[in-house]
Amino acid sequence: MSARPLLIELFTEELPPKALKRLGEAFAGAILEGLQTRGLAPVPAASRTFCSPRRLAVRVEDVVHRAPDKVVDLKGPSIKVGLDAQGEPTQALVKWAQKQGATVEQLTRGSDGKQECFFFASTVPGQHLSECADALIAYALSRLPIPKVMEYQLADGRTSVSFVRPAHRLIVLHGDAVVPAGALGLLSGRRTFGHRFQSVGELVIPDANAYVHVLEREGRVIPDFDTRRARIAAMLDDRAQALNASLGDPEQVAPLLDEVTALVEWPAVYAGEFEPAFLAVPQECLILTMRTNQKYFPLFDGQGRLLPRFLIVSNMQVDDPTLIIDGNQRVVRPRLADARFFFEQDKKTPLADRVAQLSAVVYHAKLGTQAQRVERVRHLARAIAQSLNLNVEHADRAALLAKTDLVTGMVGEFPELQGVMGTYYARHDGEPDAVAQALTEQYQPRFAGDELPASDTGTVLALADKLETLAGLFGIGQHPTGDKDPFALRRHALGVIRMLVEKRLPLALPALLDTAFAAFDAAAAPGRAGLETFVYERLSGWLRERGFSSQEVAAVTDQRPAELARVLEQLQAVRTFSALPEAQSLAAANKRITNILRKAGDVAAAEPVPALLVEGAERELAARLAELGPRVDACMAAHDYTGALTQMAQSREAVDRFFDEVMVMADDPAVRANRLALLARLRELMNRVADISRLSA
């Protein structure tokens, strides 16, 4: 039962590059899971995943050819069923024992957690690797996140199979021995292929440990995705430095690096160039066409300006790459020429003259055209700018022009440039810079962690745009369900939250939602309550991601604070209060007060009548609240939330004494109502910053 490495490789036609890494990880993970489930591999087990454009493979260490036998306790009848009144075995017990190939004397007694039962210790023989290899591979293939399945015929001309791409070879090696197996009409062996053009030919893998060595040395294939990626990254960096250039923002380079890693087996990096005259086109256009369409890596100077050079990751390592470089340069020039053509043509028509064209662009079947949407965004932008004492004319002009670049040739060709091209065209048209900059910033933040709009007008437009989207889609019932969010409403809500909180905007969220829904007809109104709940739920999740506990977050957000600009200060105050020795006692008291008032009908906070305060403890509490009230009010006016909670901590002794000595639900209705009013006043003061009952353990 000696342990040896197990190698399984499926060799195919070129796999979808954007899915390759996921396919490789899923294939390897499922094989490993199947081996461990059957006891053929240890837990944990060392393994290595391989995936290249034409192969999925995994090598698992310490796999045995036969799993150890396993002793399994089979549960039989309960004692009540298995024994009669005299304690003798019943016929049911005897027959069950015979079915297991045992006698009653070989059974044991034990509990199944609910009752005492009979058990039989049965030995289950371990599985042989050769017996389950087919099932292992079939299970792994069934678990692959295949984007789209294709059906193809096998060599016999009759049998059809389905897979992401046609498969041509299957390797299953346990050490140096081939394990008989089959999948997708293939039988296992030890032969595979290397690089499509630069391999020595068909490759023979002598044993599982030789896999990487043979592929790299004879096949000119680096089978490990991460190793291949690291080599490409190093080659790109070296070549860029040699050209006194950089690759640009690493976050923007990373997705392209992943994609080219999935496209090549034996990478080589070459430098190409294009005519400097193309640099008259906005560099975002050139960068996009090179990265997206050609999979090239543009190069930048020290100031981040695009250079007329780019790097090519080729799948061919040759001594003289002239033909490869010339071919790629010939391919990229028409793309850059197209970008220049669109740019020059678009500049001939000012954005303001394109506004009318938005009437022909449908935004949503139930929400009208982009022109109608623009009017709603203008309504919101004007209201927000006015509330913030900002330039209303700039906000209105930016909202009017916000979507006009959607009908330009450049954005029609490259939708990813919407907003960016609006800014270029607005500046060309002589629009105020605040208006031009806002056209790009309206889409910020585009993703988690993205920058917020830097300008005032951009912030106003971004808020208006996102609020209009949220109100409109909630108004027609198109809110996210489960993990489905086709209109990215979670991202829009988070964008609104981040702008309100991080830019400390003195805007009340309920009022913003009212303004947003006022831009639509009355039929949208029922969606408002759901949207408000949705935003506060996103706020809670975002705050937890920032490191606040669920209790701290609930204490603040359950009260639905109107001004989100203050929530971080409130949470810090709650955290400081939680560390005080009085915190738990007051939190418990607050929870008790809430329950009492709820049962009594949620009495409104009112000043208690002094003449009805008959007990010393309630008089002391009333006096303490009269003393603390003005102090808390002063702290709240100064937004000193920590100070407000610290002041309330001083009420602990009076609160404890009240609950020790006073019967709230007194027989006298007037006294009872007065005590409830006192508690309502106490709760109102306690919860000015947050609902501290949420902190109760």
Over 117-147, what HEC string results?
Answer: EEEEEEEECCCEHHHHHHHHHHHHHHCCCCC
Q: Is the pLDDT of residue 670 over 60?
A: yes
- Give the model's pLDDT for residue 585: 84
- Confidence band of 605 (pLDDT split at 50, 70, 90): low
**38-42, 134-138, 581-585, 631-635: which range is least confident on average?**
581-585
Convert the pLDDT of each residue in 499-519 to its tens digit: 999 999 999 999 999 999 999
Same fold, 363-547 and 569-695: no
Segment 146-151 shows an average pLDDT of 84
pLDDT score of 147: 74
The whole-number average pLDDT for the span 258-265 is: 97
The dihedrals phi and psi of 355, each to the nearest 5 degrees, come to -55, -40
Region 640-652: mean pLDDT is 89
CATH topology of domain 3-65+129-217: Alpha-Beta Plaits (3.30.70)
Which CATH number applies to 363-547: 1.10.1740, 1.10.3210, 1.10.287, 3.30.1490?
A: 1.10.3210
CA atoms of 4 and 236, how far apart (whole Å) = 38
Residue 520 scores a pLDDT above 90: yes
Letter string b/e over residues 629-666, b meaning 16 or more CB atoms within 10 A of that residue's CB: eebbeebeeeebbbbbbbbbbebbebbbbbbeebebeb
Instruction: Please report how many Cα atoms fall inside a 13 Å half-sphere around the Cα of residue 598, on the Cβ side.
Output: 6
Higher-confidence residue: 240 or 670? Answer: 240
C-alpha distances in angstroms, 106 versus 75, 93, 115, 626? 13, 12, 20, 80
Residue 695 confidence (pLDDT) above 90 = no
pLDDT digits (tens, 9 = 90+) for 64-118: 999 888 888 889 999 888 888 888 899 988 899 898 888 888 888 888 888 999 8
Residue 410, pLDDT above cutoff 60: yes
Q: 498: which residues sit within 8 A by CB, 6+ positions away?
A: 445, 452, 542
**From edge to edge, which strands make up the β-sheet containing 268-273?**
268-273, 306-314, 297-300
| Residue 1 predicted with pLDDT over 60 | no
Question: Which tens digit of pLDDT belongs to each residue from 21-72?
Answer: 999 999 999 999 999 999 999 999 999 999 999 999 999 999 999 988 888 8
Instruction: State the pLDDT at residue 603.
Output: 60
Average pLDDT over residues 683-696: 87
Rounded to an integer, the average pLDDT of 381-396 is 97
pLDDT, position 606: 65
- Provide the residue ranges of all domains of the chain, joining segments of one domain with +: 3-65+129-217, 70-124, 225-346, 363-547, 569-695
Residue 490 has pLDDT above 60, yes or no: yes
pTM listed for this prediction: 0.79
User: Whose CA is closest to 468, among 344, 587, 377?
Assistant: 377
DSSP-derived 3-state class of residue 527 = helix
CATH top-level class of 569-695: mainly alpha
Query: 264 or 479, which is more confident?
Result: 264
